[in-house]
Amino acid sequence: MLERLQAWLNRSRSGRKAQQALAHLPAPKTPQAQPLTDLRLIVLDLETTGLNPAKDEVIAIGAVAINGQRIAMDDQFDLILRRPELDISETVLIHGIGPEALTKGHETEDALLHLLEWMNGDPILAYHAAFDKKFLEKTLRQTLAYSQPHTWLDVAELMPALFPDAKPGGHTLDHWSAQFGLAASARHHAAADALVTAELTLIALNRAGKAGLATLSELNRKLRDVRRLNSLKRL
């Protein structure tokens, strides 16, 4: 009985601490006339226990910031979450994160609070962003009751939108990386995949500038227009 009471008190204190921390976070930035040359962007990649956001869980987060169209090597995020209760038997050979790493990882609540503070409400990019967005939003909602909508851009949409004549041989991160001579130091490692995605993002931002897309809202509008055009082609 006393152990259950102590566990409840610890959860209650932890919840109050999280809510106090969340109250001081800046609001997520929406696509407006922010110059791309000055904007801080977050390029993010997740490792998960599977591909289904309804039942699978986030186990590692890797991210790198782009600031002033430069990758800030001293402005990165790379954490394995402490989730020893999760079954990773079906995916450990893909991401290499085993039970011991999950046991020694960072407390999930603290890691997510640190991530939100580090992101500072800046726009997020990812390769096949819908996947990372669903998983991260679910994890933030379940762990912190956090549901603020961030701006997300999909690098998998960005590359063909800005390089329509490129023929990378496929639609994966590996195909586009090979197209521009890039290579991740370790595939299916969140931080390494985030870094190579950030390198692709810089290539895309350079092309966007040459195409006259100078602001976040203009880039977002370009993606929306290409998405609409592709939908019409499929009709």
Say if 3 falls within a structural domain.
Answer: no
Residue 89 has pLDDT above 80, yes or no: no
Beta carbons of 71 and 63 less than 8 angstroms apart? no
Mean pLDDT of 77-83: 93
Report how many helices (DSSP H) and strands (DSSP E) the chain contains, helices first. Answer: 9, 5
Residue 192 tokens, joined: 């390494």
Residue 37 has pLDDT above 80, yes or no: yes
Say if 134 falls within a structural domain.
Answer: yes
Total structural domains in the chain?
Answer: 1
Assign 21 a pLDDT band (cuts: 50, 70, 90): confident
Residue 177 has pLDDT above 90, yes or no: yes
Query: How far apart are alpha carbons 68 and 234 in whole angstroms?
Result: 37
> 117 lies in which domain range?
37-233
Say if 226 falls within a structural domain.
Answer: yes
Query: How far apart are alpha carbons 144 and 81 in whole angstroms?
Result: 15
Say if 221 falls within a structural domain.
Answer: yes
Mean residue pLDDT of the chain comes to 88
Between 74 and 101, whose confidence is greater? 74
Assign 19 a pLDDT band (cuts: 50, 70, 90): confident
Q: What is the pLDDT of residues 53-67, one digit of tens each?
A: 999 999 999 999 999
Q: What is the reported pLDDT for 2?
A: 39
Q: What is the pLDDT of residues 200-233, one digit of tens each?
A: 999 999 999 999 999 999 999 999 998 998 888 7
Query: How far apart are alpha carbons 36 and 222 in whole angstroms?
Result: 14
Say if 22 falls within a structural domain.
Answer: no
Residue 95 has pLDDT above 60, yes or no: yes
Say if 23 falls within a structural domain.
Answer: no
Query: What is the edge-to-edge ordering of all strands in the sheet holding 71-80?
Result: 71-80, 58-67, 40-48, 124-126, 152-154
Between 189 and 160, whose confidence is greater? 160
According to DSSP H, which parts of 90-183 are helical? Answer: 92-95, 99-104, 108-119, 129-144, 155-162, 173-179
- Supply the CATH number for residue 137's domain: 3.30.420.10
